[in-house]
Amino acid sequence: MKKELTIFDNPKNVKRLRNGFFVALVLVLIAESFVEMHGEFSVEHFYGFYAVYGFISYVLLIFVAKLLRKIIMRKEDYYDE
């Protein structure tokens, strides 16, 4: 039997990964104050614009997709007769 990786079977490791991710999120937000955001559009000058836009886009994408599913979803064998 080939040996298996089981690193994410341990909930502790998953938790560590998640916490690391949250720390990284805070870091990229703070990082914005150290760089000059030289955007062409005025929206880019709002602090954290990209973070907010990314989050909202993602949520919007998922919810619109869920609505779309109601219209376009068919059984797997829809085209087979």
Q: Which residues lie near another protein (CB under 8 A)?
A: 2, 4-6, 8, 18, 21, 24-25, 28-29, 31-32, 34-41, 44, 48-55, 57-62, 64-66, 68-69, 71-79
Longest dimension (CA), the chain: 62
CA–CA dist 57, 55 (Å, integer): 6
User: Three-state DSSP class for 75?
Assistant: coil
- Closest approach, Cβ 44 to another protein, in A, equals 7
Nearest alpha-carbon partner for 32 in 19, 51, 18: 51
Nearer residue to another protein within complex by CB, 11 or 77: 77
- Closest approach, Cβ 9 to another protein, in A, equals 8
Nearer residue to another protein within complex by CB, 12 or 74: 74
**Joined tokens for residue 23:** 């720390």
CA–CA dist 18, 8 (Å, integer): 11
- Closest approach, Cβ 15 to another protein, in A, equals 12
